[in-house]
Amino acid sequence: MAVLLSSLNVRGLKNNVKRKAMFLFCKEIKANILFLQETHSGKEEETFWKHQWGDSILYSHGTTHSAGVMILFNKFAGRVIDHKSDGMGHWIMVLVEVCEQKIILINVYGYNNRSLNRNMMSNLSKLIAKWSTTYGSTQVIIGGDFNLAPNSWLDRQPQRGNQPEHESIICDLCTTTNMIDYWRMTNPNTKKYTWFSPSNKNVCSRLDYWLVSQTVSSYVTKCETQSTPLTDHCLISLLLSLRKQQ
């Protein structure tokens, strides 16, 4: 069974015209599960936005001008077993079952503060371990806008520092959860960015990516990036070809 996941920093959905355009774009790409960041959503919007989308949505609200993450479902053949969020608009964690497999999905929107980002990733690592034990699943996918470039030379323009350096916060998360940066693993020397400065197109970074557990990586058939209207981020997509476990 094919399951398509996509992720995008939308830079705010309060504007009705923009929200309609974004929802239409998201429908057109035919993703089954969508991670959106910087939604700027509030409790009062939940019912109306769900009606506009036409399918299930999970929320973690930020403020009217910052943060907020959502997971949108679109003709998803599986079911949601459990979900949890930080209540501050920076992450949602959901356990789904599809094709008789349980998968932990996490949508993240990283802080612009290293200390807060490190604390968030540490907490998520502990939650992953807890859910893995509780639900008997080692299959994990984390996606979103991490606000952290994994490699100071390959993932930034202009390069930062005097030599290539891996982002310790992401390295620590991957080590403790046994996960990999899937796109970088399959494109070891390629330079491709997902965020471009609105004021200077020569300033860009790869801030949006998928971290997948080793147990999930064998199911990935595509990991792609595409430009997107109405935001300074690119859409990232991950296509899984799932099969029932023997």
Domain boundaries along the sequence of the chain: 2-241
Q: For residue 114, what pLDDT is reported?
A: 96
pTM, two decimal places: 0.97
155 is in an annotated binding site: no
Q: How far apart (Å, rounded) are the C-alpha atoms in residues 79 and 154?
A: 38
147 is in an annotated binding site: yes
- As a CATH number, domain 2-241 is 3.60.10.10
How many residues are present in the chain?
246
Question: Mean pLDDT for each 10-residue chunk of the chain (246 residues)?
Answer: 97 97 96 98 96 98 96 97 97 97 98 97 98 97 98 94 90 97 97 95 96 96 96 98 80
Q: At what angle do helices 168-177 and 114-135 cross, to 10 degrees?
A: 10
Tokens of 62: 């930020």
Q: For residue 164, what pLDDT is reported?
A: 85
> 51-54: long-range contacts (C-beta < 8 A, 24 or more apart)?
52/19, 52/20, 52/23, 53/23
Q: For residue 246, what pLDDT is reported?
A: 59
* Tally of CA atoms within 13 A in the half-sphere of 198 that contains its CB: 6
Q: Where are any strands of DSSP class E within 15-90?
A: 33-37, 57-60, 69-73, 79-85
How far from chain centre, in Å, is Cα 39?
A: 13
Q: How far apart (Å, rounded) are the C-alpha atoms in residues 152 and 80?
A: 37
55 is in an annotated binding site: no
232 is in an annotated binding site: yes
233 is in an annotated binding site: yes
Enzyme catalytic residues: 109, 145, 233
Q: For residue 162, what pLDDT is reported?
A: 79
